[in-house]
Amino acid sequence: MKNELIGRITNKQAHVGVIGLGYVGLPLLVEFAAKGFKGTGFEVDETKAEQINAGSSYIGDVPSRRIKEAVDAKRLWATTDFDHLGDCDAIIICVPTPLRKTKEPDVSYILAATEQIAKRLRRGQLIILESTTYPGTTDEVLLPKFEESGLKLDDDFMLAFSPERVDPGNPKFLTHNIPKVVGGVTPDSTVVAAHLYSQIVDDVYSVSSARVAEAAKLLENTFRAVNIGMANEMARLCYALNIDTWEVIRAAATKPFGFMPFYPGPGIGGHCIPLDPHYLSWKARQHGFDSRFISLAEEVNSRMPEHVVQLVSDGLNDERKAMKGSNVLLLGVAYKKDINDVRESPALSIIDRLRAKGANVRYHDPFVTELSFDDESLQSVPLTNEELKSADCVIIVTDHSEIDYKRVCSLASLIVDTRNALNGDVRRESSARIIRL
């Protein structure tokens, strides 16, 4: 069966299915279609399926033009009917893996996708999990479910894990030029899965097992979370010592070995860094291991929104103004620059804390038109001169490129810059008081 699948992949006869058409799944599906494969996207959201079939993109990194070309060529379509999974030779699972309120892994979306596949599993299929999860998920959760059908791994189907490595809003690294790690539950599964990805990705790196691939993904993002936590703790220390954090980092970064710069911020957001370390620490606890570095980093990073609010309070206090009743304007609420994703964004926590202290909070974000909270919704306001002048404090939470920071500095009276968005020239020419993280 290994040779059969490799032959179908090589000849572009393999039909590729992708479950979950978000930031990970949609770019992947489009890439396969662009390389000549027939691709089917599976979604529970009918609106998304309709948009794709109409040749329209809802993901910033995927131009509508690419989707329309693939749809018109009949190489790509989306559906909510999971019966079509039986038509696919390769099925890639790209569903969310959030945390429960207890900060334990929530693999319910993976389980739901697995159930849909298991009902239609046939001989000659390759299944790959891309959703970030704890080590052991692929062979402890997916494999037993698939073998309930009576089909056997390697003889009838292949199973592997390949972690997604999407960086939304990064024009330099896209699906085709981000190296792909692949680990099969068996060596044959590794070979077939690696061959599939080699059709669309420049570099494929095979590892000995699905567990290694699962752990590698968690290490990547835990490494970032821990080092960002160190940078955030350094920023708080430098603030207490009245030292410029950013100058300290620039100086340390001149060392050509043994140092890698990480930068502080208002907190961490997105679908990976705030969540993935918890998957690793949860698995560690199952084996009686206390992952103290991970816990400490999470504690430091989660306190950064509180620190930002304290900087606002200190700034207002120096102006003889109370937080209660003050007009506070946030610039940017997405979790990173130049995208519209607010998942786990620190801006949400900052807004909650400011409002709890009685501040009148407004925000401007060219990519996010509305924010929903339990009690109400907030809409992005135009960044007018009047809006900037009337704000008692402006907080730069997300450093979107299209914001004119020189104008912000010329009109605002107090600015808390959490992203080092205000360069030296802008700061020197500014009439505003600027507090940097």
Catalytic residues: 272
Quick one: 153 exposed, middle or buried, by C-beta within 10 A (0-12, 13-18, 19+)? middle
Q: CA-to-CA distance for 419 and 425, rounded, in angstroms? A: 16
The Cα 122–Cα 134 span in angstroms is 27
- What is the spatial distance between Cα 416 and Cα 260, in angstroms, rounded to a whole number? 26
Compute φ and ψ for 380, nearest 5 degrees: -65, 135
| Token pair in block for residue 210 | 């699905």
Residue labelled with tokens 């501040």: 359
Question: Is there a contact between 349 and 269 (Cβ–Cβ < 8 Å)?
Answer: no
How far is the CA of 73 from the CAs of 12, 36, 79, 371, in angstroms?
A: 15, 10, 17, 38
Separation of alpha carbons 422 and 436, rounded Å: 9
Residue 241, token pair as written in the block? 């010592």
Q: Do 348 and 334 touch, CB atoms closer than 8 A? A: no
240 within 8 A of 96, measured Cβ to Cβ = no
- 162 neighbors 193 (Cβ within 8 angstroms): yes
d(CA 110, CA 129) in angstroms, rounded, equals 8
Q: Structure tokens of 353? A: 């804390």
Buried b (16+ CB within 10 A) or exposed e, 14-30: bbbbbbbbbbbbbbbbb
Give yes or no for a contact between 151 and 157, defined as CB atoms under 8 angstroms apart.
yes
- Tell me how far apart the alpha carbons of residues 82 and 368 are, in angstroms, rounded to a whole number: 32
